[in-house]
Amino acid sequence: MSEGIWHVSTRPRSQKTHQLVLDATNELLREAGFAGVTIERLANRSGVSTATIYKHWPSKNAIVAEAFGRTATEALQIPDGSDPLEDLVDCAVSSLTFHSTGGGRVFFQLLAACSMEPSGAAYFQEYYLGPRRETMLPLFTRAIEAGVIAEDLDINVAMDVVFGAAVFRLMRDSSALDEATIRKTIELSISGLLTNK
């Protein structure tokens, strides 16, 4: 477990309590958005006392980062086709399309909140950024092995390039972007990584 992440007891009761709060968080995010999630509302919805909630997490942002991170990771579709570059594009488009509509837009508020709070940032890294990078790594590796992306590429920088432009585009556009626009943005970002530019 990463630095800054609080250890949760493996006892069944503790695990159940942890999950009750995560479930309540996801419900409140769907119903009221990021601003509608408070520790008091989580306690009422989950049946877990505020004191116990604070034994599991250091802040509201940490709770939301874990709950949203797990949900976003489960929603991520990992293609396994015959074209490594197409799979990479499809996965990035799927990820960002999720963030462009409905509950996925919580990402932007969470990103802003966690950037100002170290404890929230640790949970955002552990439950959102880390798993997504791990998921994307084999897709970038396959594209490099297939010779379509430069072999000396720093994959972490490449991920920042591919997702950074699209995330910025989604952040500045308050309305949901359609999938075709997201795909064009991803393809333009990836074009700079190709070996046959």
| Same structural domain, 81 and 157 | yes
Please count the structural domains in the chain: 2
* Domain that residue 22 falls in: 12-56
Closest by CA to 53, choosing from 66, 64, 45, 63, is: 63
Strand partners, 194: 149
| Same structural domain, 110 and 38 | no
Q: Confirm if 177 and 170 have CB atoms less than 8 A apart.
A: yes
Mean pLDDT calculated for residue range 116-120: 92
Tell me what pLDDT residue 177 has: 72
d(CA 91, CA 72): 13
Mean pLDDT calculated for residue range 85-92: 92
What are phi and psi for residue 186, nearest 5 degrees? -65, -45
**pLDDT, tens digit (0-9, with 9 covering 90-100), for 17-46:** 999 999 999 999 999 999 999 999 999 999
| Same structural domain, 88 and 185 | yes
